[in-house]
Chains A and B, each alone.
Chain A
Amino acid sequence: MDPTTAMYVAQTIHGLAYGMLLFLVASGLTLIFGMMGILNLAHASFFMLSAYFCLSILNWTGNFWLALIVAPLATAFVGILIERFLLRKIRGAGHIGELILTVGLMMIIMESVKFFWGTDTYIINVPPALKGLVNIFGMEYPVYRLFIIGITILILVFMGLILFKTRLGMIVRAGVSDAEMVGAIGINMPLVFMIVFGVGTWMAGVAGVAIAPILSVFPGLADQMGMDAFVVVVVGGFGSLLGAFVSSIFFGLLNSFGIQFIPRLAPVLMVLCMVLVLSFKPMGLFGERE
């Protein structure tokens, strides 16, 4: 393989991996913000919280797989409590209420994290089974990145199955079109909201644990991914899982090739895309909900 082709292949794989990473963080937000219309600025905070849970579980047991199961569940539990006792009370009051509440939550989670774990940066080791490099198209590639791509695909399939093959998914999809009407025909929408919020925070949790070994764990973790996840969901389109996936991959590739060719303007490109898409398609690329 000549060097130019090799560069293109390498950048494509990097872009895909980063896109998958973005989707992993954004997928939960697609459910919560995209489908249920809850403006949740604290989504990235849940993501960070889970990374810290993972850190503690690793310190106690040293078992990464246990952390991958327990930390997201703990995060989802926190999320369900917050939905049940805080967010539910202000439903219907519009985005302003949700904005204030979730900004408040963001501050509280950030301060709690600093209180319990301090402000240090913790490095989390990749579990031994996923260490090392693998050879793809004559290129050395870390196994752990492939593991993340695998997890993301697993989550995409899992979400697709739930949304399109189960009764709950049917209700959620109907809720995207008209939540009031779904409630009116006798479905317990508050419960559905709580479950969906729980699943959304669980997915943020999975992303947090999966990404912890790559980005390491520090209090700024939420800021780093939060904005990007928002951009992905909004550009992909409100209420569309496919849209979120497509825009994640697109931004992943854009980022990776942007950094290669015009390093300074790569972050500008991402936001510029958001401006352009929203200007001409206000509901996003695959948007369904008004």
Chain B
Amino acid sequence: MITIIRQRGLPVVLIVILLFFPQLFGILHTNMFLSFSIMSMYAVSLNLMLGYTGLLSFGHAMFFGTGAYATSLILTHIEGFPVLLSILTGCLAAVIMAVITAPLLVRVSGTAFAMLTLAFGQLMYVICLKFREITGGEDGLGGFTIPPFLGIDLTDTVNFYYFAMVILLLCLGAMWFFTQTPFGNIIVGIRDNVNRVDYLGFQVHQTKAIVFLISGGFAGIAGSVYALFQNLVSPEGTLGVFVSFNPIVMAVVGGLGSFFGPVVGAGILTILEETVSEFTDRIDLINGIFLIIIILYAPTGIVGLWHKLKEALFKKETAQ
């Protein structure tokens, strides 16, 4: 009975909460939940590179920002452009970004990889900051009209919630499927022992390049949805260096080893921030202390901690 509830009950509860979130928790929390969902999807896309392939990227924002800017630009300049196609444009722009950078990125690894991605990310940031005529400079782009989708008005928070959740969940599903394929196993192999994968006859460079394209593409979609959600993109908000660091922080807090770790991490950080902000303005102080505690005492993240806890409880049961 308990196992049935555990196996079936939790998904059902989750689905019910997701379906009726706006009605259950109100507009304010719906907006918060949306921004959490976008960041989760973005962090999961980064985790394909970080947790699965073992590549520490400090410039994932270039994909997120490219997606966000592509969507905003096309909606600003072409009136009545279909909203779904605008998200696809964001995805495509991020993939193109990945295609351009991949030949240079696949050749390096470790610290050099982190620094080169940081450099590319910063390059996009400064370009967006300086080419004011196109990108709007520091102010960014905002106030573009969001066309209705199949006659549904997307400027309404509740409608947008369902629209965005469907897209984000589809992307999560696609990424989950990707990690389950044989190709998904090869990238884990690259993380664990790159030489062996090479000796087995797999093409490491090309495989890494494909991971960039996929990870970048999904980050681009996250950026597009962010642009539609905020109706404003700025260099600091979509391309800044912290936009690259935040998903890493989420992935580490949640747990690098697992697919849903970044989602858990994003959730915990969001809840922490919301709880703390009710008591004090110094959110960053608590955040900073929290990060240090996590990295010192739970380096495998919350998911790792949970597994350890389960193991400890399980052992206790068998001892009795």
**B120 touching A112 by the CB < 8 A rule?**
no
B256 beta carbon closer than 8 Å to chain A? yes
6 residue pairs of the A-B complex, CB under 8 angstroms, read: A95-B114, A96-B256, A103-B245, A234-B118, A267-B130, A282-B108
User: In the complex, what's the smallest C-beta–C-beta distance from B173 to chain A, in angstroms?
Assistant: 27
**B122 touching A108 by the CB < 8 A rule?**
no
A268 beta carbon closer than 8 Å to chain B? yes
Binding site for B on A (CB under 8 A): 37, 39, 86, 89-90, 93-97, 99-101, 103-108, 110-112, 114-115, 227, 230-231, 234, 238, 264-265, 267-268, 271-272, 274-275, 278-279, 282-283
Across the interface, B112 reaches (CB within 8 A) one of A93, A100, A282, namely: A282
Chain A residues whose CB sits within 8 angstroms of the CB of B123 once the complex forms: 268, 271-272, 274-275
Across the interface, B56 reaches (CB within 8 A) one of A37, A96, A115, A274, namely: A96
Chain B residues whose CB sits within 8 angstroms of the CB of A108 once the complex forms: 284-285, 288-289, 292
**B119 touching A278 by the CB < 8 A rule?**
yes
B210 beta carbon closer than 8 Å to chain A? no
Chain B residues whose CB sits within 8 angstroms of the CB of A107 once the complex forms: 284-285, 287-288, 291
Across the interface, B282 reaches (CB within 8 A) one of A97, A111, A227, A271, namely: A111
Chain A minimum-CB-distance residue to B129 = A267
B87-135 contacts to A (CB < 8 Å): 104, 107-108, 111-112, 114-116, 118-120, 122-123, 126-127, 129-130
Chain B residues whose CB sits within 8 angstroms of the CB of A97 once the complex forms: 295, 299
User: In the complex, what's the smallest C-beta–C-beta distance from A26 to chain B, in angstroms?
Assistant: 14
Tell which of A94, A275, A283 has the most Cβ of chain B within 10 Å.
Answer: A275
B218-256 contacts to A (CB < 8 Å): 241, 245, 248-249, 252, 256
Across the interface, B122 reaches (CB within 8 A) one of A99, A106, A112, A271, namely: A271
Q: Complex: how many Å from CA A180 to CA B154?
A: 58
Q: Is the interface of B mostly helix, strand, loop or mixed?
A: helix
Across the interface, A227 reaches (CB within 8 A) one of B122, B291, B295, namely: B122
User: In the complex, what's the smallest C-beta–C-beta distance from B286 to chain A, in angstroms?
Assistant: 9
User: In the complex, what's the smallest C-beta–C-beta distance from B186 to chain A, in angstroms?
Assistant: 22
Across the interface, B295 reaches (CB within 8 A) one of A90, A114, A265, namely: A90
User: In the complex, what's the smallest C-beta–C-beta distance from B33 to chain A, in angstroms?
Assistant: 24
Chain A minimum-CB-distance residue to B295 = A100
Chain A residues whose CB sits within 8 angstroms of the CB of B285 once the complex forms: 107-108, 111-112, 115
Across the interface, A100 reaches (CB within 8 A) one of B107, B111, B241, B249, namely: B249
Q: Complex: how many Å from CA A99 to CA B242?
A: 12
Chain B minimum-CB-distance residue to A89 = B296
